[in-house]
Structure formats: structure tokens, C-alpha cells
Structure 1
Amino acid sequence: MSECYGKLFIENEKILNCEEFCDETVLNGTSLYEVIRVIDSVPIFLEKHLGRLYNSAKLAHKELWMNKNDILDALLKLIEVNNTSEGNVKIIFNYSEINLEEKHTFLVYFIEHHYPTEEQYSLGVPTVSFYKERSNPNAKIVNNNLRKETDEKIKSKGVYEAILVDRNNLITEGSRSNIFMVKDNCVITAPLNAVLPGITREIIIEICKKEGIRFTEENINFNQISDFDALFITGTSPKILPISKVDDFVFNSSTNIIVQSIMRHYNRIIEEYIKENKK
């Protein structure tokens, strides 16, 4: 089944039918990517996503051949031609070799999304620990093997997300999210050098600083998981989602006042962003 969702996608400067989409293009060579949530036809936190995309290129020793305005124009064109105001859009910069010559392919397309339900926000979601780590966690590079392994783990356990634990038994991040923990009204997350620099992660830290919520980045051993009052994951699709369970450890995260406060502030920031950027 193709990853391209909807009717049309853009490859380089061409608008094509999703039936023509070739998943092999993404899997061959190196693919740098971003997934951006679109709400009310507005790409949320676009500037931050593009900044991270350029940083991923730098870490991968690649150069993007399009400027930010060109990328924005392609993204807005995709929203227009699909007549879709809500969803997740994936941007790909692919670098592959054909006959010893490097080929560049730019792709932008809608992907299938699964947003949490109101009940999941209200009660929290179950997760499972998974002993895996990314080879280059600071860069968003397509890693199909890791995605396949974590998806299989999530499906087999019937949970929402897999929490990655590294070879040193340290909690790093979710398979497609960042993770935060709360202890004695202090918000804790893994150091930036060990995780993907999530856009939502960045905004959560800004909220904590602005609202006077104690915050720290530190290494957390998985053996300490039961010591926390609450946990939550963050990301493009889930926004801020309380965790109700990690393996057999149960948490009342959704009722934690710190988690609830951060969720309210984050949702308000999104509402303001849409108002400021709605055309």
C-alpha cells in the first residue's frame, strides 16, 4: 500500500496522481524528511519544521536544492490541488545514485494520519518499552527498518506508542514522538543529543520556561520509571498525549495538574498560530 494518501502529490515541479507514486523513491538512497500537520489549511509551525529540515541536511552532509519559499509554495499548492484543509503532509528530499550519478528528487504529499481520540486525551494511552536506538537521532532520515520493528512491537502489544530505551538502559524517546516525565512538579526529558529535536518538544520547553514550570534535561534510567508521577508523549499528530501505562507500570498522567496546564498552553499556542497565519 502506497504511503501517498489522497488524490494528488508533487514530485519536483510536477503535480501527479497518487496512483503514480513510487514508494521505492523514498526508500532508495538517503531521504531527509519532515511531517507537518495542517489545520484549517495552515501548516502548523512551518518555520520550525523547515529549520529542522535544514539542520537534518547539515548533519547528513547534504545540501537542499530548494529554498524555504520554494518549499512553502509547493506545500501550499499541494493543499490547494487536493482541496484538503486537515491532515499530515510529508516533505521528502531524496538523494540516490543512478549510473553513478546522484539524482535529486523532491516530494511533497499527504500521508494517512491517526490523531488521538478525546477519550485517549482524557484517559491517557498505553505504551511499551522497546530496546532500540537511532544511529543519528538528531536528524530526520527515513529509517524503514526501525519503523517496521517498532510498528510490529506496537501492534503485537496493542499499545499506542513504543518508548525507546538505549543500550545503557536510558529512556530516550518514542518511536515517533518525544517523551516527558513529571516528578514533584518538575518536567524532565532526555538530553537533546540523544533524541530527535521535536518541534513540539521545543515548544513544551518554551512553555515551561515562560510559565515558571521547573524543567530539566537529564538521563533517566528505565529502572526509575515507577518513580514518576506522570508521563506524556509529544509530536506532530498526538500534540501532547498523557501516558496511562508503560509495560505494567500504571500512571494517572491525564489528571496531573502539570500535564493539564502544559496541554492547555500548547493548544492555545496552536490556535494563535492559525489565526496569525490564516490567509
Structure 2
Amino acid sequence: MYYNENTIVYYNGSFIKASEARGNVYDQTLHYGYGVFEGIRSYATESGVQIFKAKEHFERMKYSCEVMNIPYPYNNDELVAISYEVLKRNNLENAYLRPLVSCTPNMSLTKAKGSHLLIAAWEWGAYLGETLLRLKTSPFRRITPASFMVAAKVCGHYVNSILATQEAKDNGFDEALLLDMEGFVAEGPGANIFLEQDNILYTPQLGSILPGITRATVLEICNDLGIEAIEKQISPEEFKGADSAFFCGTAAEVIGIESLDSIPFKKNWKDSLGFLIQKAYKDRVLVKKFKQEVVSV
């Protein structure tokens, strides 16, 4: 699914076949989940292949390494150029890129002694599909900032996401919704979340959530379209009483939510602010000018 015998990746300074890339069984990331990564999308636009917000993603990867004490001897401008070369060598346009900084061998619980860099890419459709999602409130809570650097995109954090997603799917739902340690709405296992109430969008405030790059883009779009967007603590009860809701993330893009715990949202998706945001987001990543629309209140 992700690679074949011809797939080329960038690994530790060279373009090589994915099948020939070799790790070390003593790497610290393998044993402890101590590494960082990014997920980035590229799109075929009228002016050629464009990686959406590549600079912002690599800046976040650098930040993640810095706060996790992982060496980052890389130049982000060079990493952007390398990413385009990975796409070119694999004949990819609409693709998903995975930069990963992993740690060299170290069996002690101390900061990394060195790092490896991988940049891979593959064709990947809508991560959460194209249909509205049925969510289940997860019994697993979002990792707490009292214990983790939640603003960093760290490999080990996603064990929490795997547990939440699998529990929801095992119970017949499409995806999970995680609450924070105080019981407020946090995010999905791999996406930020917005809800609509009375023609206003609300999203969980920063603190326990990953400050998503797509989340920031949605807020930019709201500003462009004159949609009021408020960051605040949101209770599960408030969420269930909303008019509509959607997930957003690089992999998920913007995808509507049908229900939470089998309680449907009130608005038809095509009448929601989320549907308008979804269209505007697609125009933005395809480098098209989206139509300025007046939002009635």
C-alpha cells in the first residue's frame, strides 16, 4: 500500500529504494517511541505540484525535536526541496509525505545522542473517507500537558490515538472523540475538531490539543469568510447539542461528522458552515481563489 520495489525515499542524506532502507534494532525510537514526525500533503494544481504549507510543517518538526531534546541538524529550506524531489522521483502529485526524525541507538532513558531523517511519500486518499462520520466518545483521555509535550508531534503519543480509534471501531463506530483530563472535548485521534452552534464555530482551546496546521488554516478561512470562530472549553453535552461538527487535519482534510454516541447533529451537512469551510479548504490547497460568501446570521 505504501511502497513497492520501485519506491524511492530520502534516508540519512541519500535517495534510496524503500526496500533497501535499513534501521538499527537498538534505535531509541524503536524501543521507546522517542521520535517526531510530520504528515504533509501535496496537490496537483494548475501551476504544478504544490506541497501545502511545507514550511509550517517543517518548522513544527524542528520545534518538536527541540522540545524533545532530539538533535535537528537539518535545514528546513533544504527539506522542502528534498520533499519535492521525493515526489518527482516517485511520479507523485496528489500524495502524502511522511518526514520522520528517529533517534540513534540508546538503551538508556536519556536524551537522544543522534538522529536519523526519513522522508517518504505515497498516494493516500481521504484518510477518514468521504462520508459523514459516526463518532464514539472514547474511554481513553487525550494525553495531558502535565505529563507530555502535547504541542509536539511525537511518535509515542499516537499509541493513545490507536487505542481510541480501535475501541471506537470495535464498537461499530467510524472514529473516536477524545476528552481531555478535565472532561472537556479535546480532539479526534488524528484530527482537530470544530462544532457549529447558531452560525458560530467553536473549537477547543489550546492546552491539551495538538495545535494543528489545518486547524490554523480553518481559522484563517473563517476570518476570510467573516465566520465567527471561538476557541474555548467545550463540554460533551454542549457538543452533542450542536448544529453540526467536523474534523480537520492534514490527512483527514475537512470531513463532516454525522453523530456523536448515536446522537445526530441538527443541520444537514450541506447547509452547515463546515460544508462551506470544506469547499474553501479544497480551493485553498489547490491554489484556487474561493468565492467570498456572506454568512447569514
Q: TM-score, normalised by structure 2?
A: 0.81
Aligned counterpart, 2:207: 193
Change in 2 beyond 3 A, CA 1:148/1:265: closer
Aligned to 1:108: 119
Report SS of the residue matched to 1:224: helix
**Deviations for 1:43-79, whole angstroms, at most 9, x for unmatched residues?**
1111221222222223323442101122112212211
**Alignment gaps of 5+ in structure 2:** 290-297
Q: Distance in 1 between matches of 2:129 and 2:36?
A: 32
Whichever residue aligns with residue 177 of structure 1, its letter is A
1:254 Cα deviation from its structure 2 partner: 1.4
- Percent identity over the alignment is 20
Q: Does 1:54 align with 2:56?
A: no
SS in 1 for 2:181: coil
- Equivalent-residue separation in structure 2 for 1:194 and 1:231 (angstroms): 19
How far is 1:221 from its partner? 1.4
- Verify the 8 A CA contact 1:171 1:220 in the aligned structure 2: yes
Give the secondary-structure state (helix, strand or coil) at the position aligned to 1:182.
strand
**1:125–1:160 contact (8 Å) kept in structure 2:** yes
User: Residues of 2 paired with 1:148 and 1:213: CA distance?
Assistant: 33
For the structure 1 residues 61 and 116, does the alpha-carbon distance in structure 2 shift closer, same or farther, using more than 3 Å as the test? closer
Q: Among 150, 154, 159, which residue is 1:141 paired with?
A: 154
CA contact (8 A) 1:231 1:253 kept: no
Residue correspondences, number: 269
Q: 1:27 aligns with which of 27, 30, 35?
A: 30
2:277 corresponding residue in structure 1 = 262
Match of residue 132 from structure 1: 141
Computed over aligned residues only, the root mean square deviation of the Cα atoms, in angstroms, reads 2.6
- Are the equivalent residues in 1 in contact too, given 2:201–2:228 (CA < 8 A)? yes
In structure 2, the partner of 1:277 is none
Change (3 A) 1:84 1:271: closer
Contact 1:32–1:142 at 8 Å: present in 2 too?
yes
1:237 maps onto 2:251 in alignment: yes
Gaps of 5+ in 1: 275-279
Q: CA 1:167–1:75 in 2, change beyond 3 Å: closer, same or farther?
A: same
Task: Choose which of 14, 37, 40 in structure 2 pairs with 1:36.
Answer: 40
Q: Distance in 1 between matches of 2:86 and 2:288?
A: 20
The equivalent residue for 1:159 is 173
Residue by residue over 1:2-49, the C-alpha shift from the partner in whole angstroms, topping out at 9 and shown as x without a partner, is x95342222111222222345765534521111111212321111221
Moved more, 232-241 or 103-112: 103-112
> Is the contact made by 1:231 and 1:242 (CA closer than 8 Å) also made in structure 2?
yes
Q: Give the secondary structure class of the aligned counterpart of 2:287.
A: helix
Other-structure match for 1:169 = 183
CA contact (8 A) 1:129 1:164 kept: yes
Which stretches of structure 1, 4 residues or more, deviate above 6 A after TM superposition? none
In the TM superposition, residue 250 of structure 1 has moved relative to its aligned partner by 0.8
What is the CA deviation profile of residues 167-225 of structure 1, one whole-angstrom value per residue up to 9, with x for unaligned ones? 22111011000000111111000112221111110011111122221111111111322
Q: In 1, Cα distance between the equivalents of 2:61 and 2:199?
A: 33
Deviations 1:203-254 (A, max 9, x none): 1111112222111111111132222101100011221111001121112451
- Over 3 Å counting, the alpha-carbon distance change for 1:90 and 1:182 in structure 2 is same
Distance in 1, matches of 2:161 and 2:238, equals: 26
* Residues in 2 aligned to 1:12 and 1:126: alpha-carbon distance in whole angstroms: 41
